[in-house]
Amino acid sequence: MPSMSGLAAQLIANGIIAGAIYALVAAGFSLIYNVAKFVHFAHGSVLALGAYFMFTFTSTKMPFIPAIILTIGATCIAGEVINRLVYRQLRERKASNAVLLIASLALMIFINALIIAVWGADIKTIVMPYENPVFELGDVLITGVQIDIIITAVVLLLVLWWLMKKTRIGKGMRALADNKDVAQTVGINPEKMYSIAFLIGSVLAAVAGILIGIEQNLHPVMGVSLMIKGFTGAVIGSLMSVPGAVLGAFLLGIVENVGIWWLPSGYKDAIAFALLFAFLLFRPQGLLGKKMREA
């Protein structure tokens, strides 16, 4: 039987693994929110599409790496189709944020129904082409896939940080997020930036879908629960800050998993909702919100 310190270390490790997935979801969601200025709840369903695309490609005995590339490409196409066919049309009609929010919820329901219609409602499993070894790091047990999840998430989040801070595209998106009118006066095309934000968000959603699909089973509404976790992480850190959303997502993953030390594992979602309500009531700007406003 593991010691108390060993159990704590294992729970924290599990929290970091969960937080890595939540961080990818929260980063994509927060990026789209900051640039396009509306809540894109269908982002979670795009993630689920990515997982099912991966299942489809691997089911045809396609090699794993090409399947990952095709999955990311197909998910990006899905994200851009959603942006152009739905959100862009609403923006051109000067739709309010409330209308865009309703549209995102409708899209989420529609995509979930589409997944059931195409792939069925039964549980699906992505078959790995290699064994998933288990490593013992002190008192912590961690699988090869879980190590891949952490490394992939960290690398992608660092690439996203570099893209947003060091490139013209990132500076353009940040300028648009700060002030749309001023951004347009210096030649920034809002629709182009919206498309880029959706493409980047879809890449992160696709990778998160692939990773969670490899580690766990697939089900049609998997994106809804992950979107809730990503949204909660963004609220905890700051909806107005992609780094804040990432920080909040990792904190959520750790708190969620450490919380089941005292509560049954079925209360994980309850812990997430409790944190969400607490921050909405007492610190709606999130942990980094004050710093962002002052800046």
pLDDT digits (tens, 9 = 90+) for 35-56: 988 899 999 999 999 999 999 9
- pLDDT surpasses 70 at 203: yes
Q: Does 107 score more than 90 pLDDT?
A: yes
What share of residues in the chain are helix, strand, coil (percent, to 5)? 75, 5, 20
Q: Does pLDDT of 267 surpass 80? A: no
Share of residues in the chain with pLDDT > 70 (%): 96
**Strand blocks (E) in the chain:** 134-137, 140-143
d(CA 203, CA 46): 10
Q: Which two tokens stand for residue 167?
A: 């490139």
Q: Indicate the pLDDT class of residue 19, thresholds 50, 70 and 90.
A: very high
What percentage of the chain reaches a pLDDT higher than 90?
A: 59
User: Is the pLDDT assigned to residue 295 strictly greater than 50?
Assistant: no
Neighbours of 260 (CB within 10 A): 16
- Cα-based angle 196, 200, 202 (whole degrees, multiple of 5): 115
Q: Return the DSSP state at 266.
A: G
Q: pTM for the complete prediction?
A: 0.91
Contact 249, 229 (CB under 8 A): yes
Q: What stretch of H or E contains 280?
A: helix 268-282
* For residue 264, pLDDT beyond 80: no
Task: Evaluate whether 48 touches 209 at the Cβ level (below 8 Å).
Answer: yes
The C-alpha atoms of residue 36 and residue 177 are separated, in whole angstroms, by 8
Kindly state the tokens that stand for 232: 């909660």
- What CA–CA distance (Å, rounded) separates 196 from 210? 21
Residues in the chain: 295
What's the chain's Rg over C-alpha atoms?
Answer: 19
170, pLDDT greater than 60: yes
CA 228 to chain CA centroid, Å, is 10
Q: Rounded distance, CA 178 to CA 173, Å?
A: 9
The region of weakest confidence among 2-16, 51-65, 206-220 is 2-16
Alpha carbons 21 and 172: distance in angstroms, whole number: 27
Residues 6+ apart with CB under 8 A from 79: 46, 198, 199, 201, 202, 205
Q: Are the CB atoms for 72 and 207 separated by under 8 Å?
A: yes
What local confidence, expressed as pLDDT, does residue 294 receive? 41
Mean pLDDT of 165-185: 89
Looking at residue 161, its pLDDT comes to: 93
Residue 86 has pLDDT above 90, yes or no: yes
What is the structure's pLDDT at 292?
42
3-class state of residue 124 by DSSP: strand
CB atoms within 10 A of CB 97: 11
Is-contact 238 286, C-beta < 8 A?
Answer: yes
CB distance 172 to 31 below 8 Å: no
**CA-to-CA dists, residue 37 to 98, 178, 186, 249, angstroms:** 11, 10, 20, 20
| 82-86, 130-134, 275-279, 288-292: least confident range | 288-292
Tell whether the model's pLDDT for residue 291 goes beyond 60. Answer: no
| Section 116-144 average pLDDT | 88
pLDDT at 110 over 60: yes
pLDDT for 263 equals 73
